[in-house]
Structures are given as structure tokens and as C-alpha cells.
Amino acid sequence: MNPDLLRERIASKRDELIELTRDLVRIPTVNPPGEAYIPCAELLGQRLRSRGFDVKYLRAIGTPGDSDRYPRMNVVAKHKGKQPGKTVHFNGHIDVVEAGSGWSFDPFAATVKNGRIYGRGTADMKGGIAAAVIATESLLELEPDLPGTLEFSGTVDEESGGYGGVAWLCEQGYLSRDTVDHVIIPEPLNKDRVCLGQRGVWWAEIETKGRIAHGSMPFLGDSAIRHMGAMLEAFESSLYPHLATKKTAMPVVPEGARQSTLNINSLHGGQYEGHDGLPAPVVADSCRMIIDRRFLIEEPLDVVKAEVRNLLDELTESRRGFRYSLRDLFEVHPTLTDRSAPVARKVAEAIRTVLGRDPDFVVSPGTYDQKHIDRIGRLHNCIAYGPGILDLAHTPDEYVGIDDLVASAQVMALATWQLVHGHE
């Protein structure tokens, strides 16, 4: 295949690519709660079926949020060539986060202006899904006897953890290293970057306990809020400086995320304030804090947890009346695909061909569905590559550049051609 022909074919489909992106964005698949998943899955399924793909609609019954009102409907499409070859799987999440306020455009009208398409999900990640569809269709038009297998999954709930989407498909065997060789997730990581993985996540709830008493005589009680204050002080004086010294060899972007980080997601102590009037004078008997710790591939999770538990145990020793509980809420291990994996190398090569520059290899500061493909599917040849600027995801006036859509579709098509042919 002449790479120039493939690039020209995709360039000639510019309007089709714009229209497919707009059609997808106009279906408001807002999650939570998981609106309009069925029409969005059907739009993709019908299109791919008309191009010769076998299409299945798969509802993840019983997964979080699944109900008859909000069914967790995924679509999986498969095109098996007559000649043997490798299997390349494109996975995109069809859900978007709520629009929020501050828009200058209707977030679900997919307005085209100044070479961009504006709307919720244009960057994250319906533009990427459309680019991948156009890339695979163009390949099949130019080479109807393309060897190997092209697969496509449009999945739900990435924005809420991916349990009814990619995690479930992995459990059902649709995304497994036994059947799939290479995975590309067209998340908005910018058209000239190859994303190899993500940092780890540990969410936990810390609760300090106290003893209720009258607020005019606090010496008769024991304030859980003051105990939590001591923990916050331990974070400031010891944990934060310690985390700042832990740097990673993972190429995480932005630069600030190239170390361990800790966010305090929330802090609640004392009486509930969601009512009018003044609170009663009481000493707080409970204070709760949710922490969000992002960790590095160099850090074992048990060490990450022990850092926090040790601080709590030290306070139990040193502080009179200090009692606590520590509860795990959520954890994800870091993933890092080898940059010499064929999928990473072939996408990088295609970026050089299409854009004329060397790609950056990056790691995402937060997690995306690659975590499930890695852990449940045990499929390690997986990268994220797609159009759109990462920083625009989830913001008002989210957009995707039309030139970027076309360029990324060209990159995906060139790389896929190499991969299905088994070129490594």
C-alpha cells in the first residue's frame, strides 16, 4: 500500500469525518446517569455493519448504574479478513461528562467554527472515535483483502470507572490477549503524542473519632476535628515533603505529575450543615477525610498505604485520645506499555510520516480504560493515541481541531496497516 494514497483517501473524507463527529456529539450520552447509550451504540454499530463488520450489542446487566431506564449498552464490531494477520482493536468510550456552565455554544449542537468542532465530547472522545472509524473504513476501501482482523468497541462508563464498559468486556473475553494483538484507545492525548499508560490511584477514607460534649465545656469531650487537624499537620510537615522527593522515570505529563501526589478530596467534621439556622454547640465526635493518592510505577501500593497508616499510628502513640479508622475506597495499579511494543512503535512511525516530527511518549496523570485492558485482559500491547487537547477535556467550550482529526485518522490508518500485516 502506498502511504500517500491512504493519506489522500482520508483527506478526501474530511467532510464525512466532521459529520460523523457531529452526529456522535449530538447524542448527549451524559454520564452519570448514562443517558442515550443505546442510540449512540446503534449509530456506530449500523455504520460499521454497513461496511461489512459483524456487530454485537452487549448490555452489561447488573453493573453499577445499569437499569432499564439507563442500560449499560456497549457495541463491539469485528471485521475478519480472508488472509491471516494480526488483530487491531480500537476502543473508545461513548460517554461524556455533564456539560456544566460557562459555554458560549450549545454543548450538544456540535457547532463548526474556525476549523474546530465545539461541544461536549468533541475532544473526549467522540472526535477520536470518528477518526478511528474513518481510518479503518479507508483502509478497507483501498485494500478490500486486508489481512488480519479489525475490531472496534464503543463502550460506556469510562467517566465513572469503566465497570459496565471496558472492564466488563474484558471479563467477557472480548478484550483479551488470547484474541487481540494490539489496542489503540483514541483518547485526546494530542495528535503527536503516544500515551503508554497511567499512574496508580489509591482512594481512602480516614476517620478520626472523638467524644461528644457541650461546646461551652469542650474539655469534657474530645474533638475529632482537632485530631484530624493533627493529621493534616503531619501531612504538611512530613508526607508532602516526602512525596515531593519521589520522582518517576515514567514520562508523565504535565511535568508536575512526574512525582507522587496527594489530593484531599473532601473533609467533613462535626454536625451536618445542610439546614438553615445555627448549629448546636457540640464537640465533634467524628471527622472524615477522603484522600486521593496518585502513585508511581516505582512505588509498591503497600508502601503507599503504609506511609499514611504509619502517620496515624504515630499519632495514636503521641496524642492522647487519638483513634482512627482507615478504609480503602478504590485502587488502580500503574500501567506502562513498553515503548518498544509494536503498537507504540508503529504509531510513532506513522506520526513521523504524517506530521514530519518525532512524537513524544507520555504517561497520563490520571487513569483511563487501559487499566482494565492491562489487568483483566492481561493485554499489554495497548496505547492511547487520538486527536484533541487533553487539557480541554471536561471544560466548557471543549473543541477538537478539524485538521487534527484528519491527521490523527491518517496516523491510525498507517499504523493499523503495518500492524495487521504483522510488520513489527
CB 21, min distance to Zn ion, A: 15
The answer to whether 124 contacts Zn ion (rule: CB under 5 A) is yes
Question: Among the candidate windows 30-38, 182-190, 192-200, 258-266, which touches Zn ion by CB under 5 A?
Answer: 182-190
Cell numbers placing 170:
474484558
Total site size for Zn ion, rule CB under 5 A: 3
Beginning with the edge strand found earlier in the chain, give each strand of the sheet holding 111-113 in spatial order.
111-113, 116-118, 399-401
Question: Among the candidate windows 39-47, 77-85, 180-188, 292-300, which touches Zn ion by CB under 5 A?
Answer: 180-188
Amino acid at 82: K
How far apart CA 210 and CA 230 sit, in angstroms, is 13
Alpha helices in 151-217 (DSSP H): 166-171
The answer to whether 167 contacts Zn ion (rule: CB under 5 A) is no
Q: Which is nearer to Zn ion, 187 or 207 (CB)?
A: 187
With CA atoms as reference, report the closest residue to 133 among 296, 24, 268: 24
Q: Which is nearer to Zn ion, 110 or 125 (CB)?
A: 125
3-state secondary structure of 184: strand
Count other C-beta atoms under 10 Å from residue 343's C-beta: 26
In 210-355, DSSP assigns E strands to 261-269, 286-295, 323-332, 335-336
Burial of residue 416 (number of CB atoms within 10 Å: 0-12, 13-18, 19+): buried
How far apart CA 230 and CA 228 sit, in angstroms, is 5
Q: Which is nearer to Zn ion, 124 or 192 (CB)?
A: 124
Site for Zn ion in 320-359 (CB under 5 A): none
Q: Which is nearer to Zn ion, 125 or 362 (CB)?
A: 125
- Using CB atoms, what's the residue nearest to Zn ion? 124
Q: Which is nearer to Zn ion, 125 or 166 (CB)?
A: 125
Q: Which is nearer to Zn ion, 74 or 149 (CB)?
A: 74
Task: Determine which residue in the list 24, 125, 130, 409 makes contact with Zn ion, applying CB under 5 A.
Answer: 125
CB 414, min distance to Zn ion, A: 23
The answer to whether 412 contacts Zn ion (rule: CB under 5 A) is no
3-state secondary structure of 365: coil
* Binding positions for Zn ion, rule: CB under 5 A: 124-125, 187
